[in-house]
Amino acid sequence: MAEDLLLAGRMPTLRPATVAAWLARARRPAAARQPGGPAPQAAPTPVLPPRARALPTVPAQARPPGWRIPALPRIGATGVWAALAVAAAVWLTTGIYKVEPDEVGIVTRFGRYVATRSPGLNYHLPAPIEQVMLPKVT
C-alpha cells in the first residue's frame, strides 16, 4: 500500500501524536495490550548445578522410543600410547631431506653450526632441534 501511495505521488503524513501513540502501544507488555487477559507469570527458574545448565536437554516427548545418547568409545591407555607413537613417528620423518648435486647441506642445531652434508638423501633431527640450509654452490 505504501508503494502504491508513493507511486501515485501521495505519501501519508505521520503526525507526532500518531507516532507517540504507536510507540506507547508498542512499549506496553503483551498482557496489557490484550483486554481482560491476566499478565503471564514466568515459570520459576530451577536451581541446577553449573554442568547441568550447560547441557542441552531433549524433552521425553521428542525422543524416539529406545533413544539414548550414544556413548563415546573409550580409547584407554593403549590407544593414547599408540596415538603418541604415531605422532612421534610422523615428527621424526620430517627430518629427511635431499641435497641436490649443485647444493650443500648446512646443518645447524639450535642455531649453531653442526655439520656439512653432501648431495643425496640425508637426515637431521626434526625442528625445532636442527635445521638445514641448502645454498647453491655451483
Give Cα 95 to chain centroid, integer Å: 32
CA distances, 130 to each of 41, 97, 113, 135 (Å) = 69, 12, 10, 16
Quickly tell me which residue has 612421534 as its cell. Answer: 88
Confidence of residue 68 (pLDDT cuts 50, 70, 90): confident
Confirm whether 35 is domain-assigned: no
Residues 50-65: tens digit of each pLDDT? 555 555 566 666 666 6
pLDDT of residue 78: 86
Residue 102 pLDDT greater than 70, yes or no: yes
Confirm whether 8 is domain-assigned: no
Residue 91 pLDDT greater than 80, yes or no: yes
In one-letter notation, the amino acid at residue 13 is T
Confirm whether 58 is domain-assigned: no
The number of folded domains in the chain is 1
Could you tell me if 104 and 117 are in contact, meaning their C-beta atoms sit under 8 angstroms apart? yes
Confirm whether 56 is domain-assigned: no
Q: What element of type H or E holds 107?
A: strand 105-109
Confirm whether 21 is domain-assigned: no
Residue 132 pLDDT greater than 80, yes or no: yes
pLDDT of residue 20: 72
Confirm whether 27 is domain-assigned: no
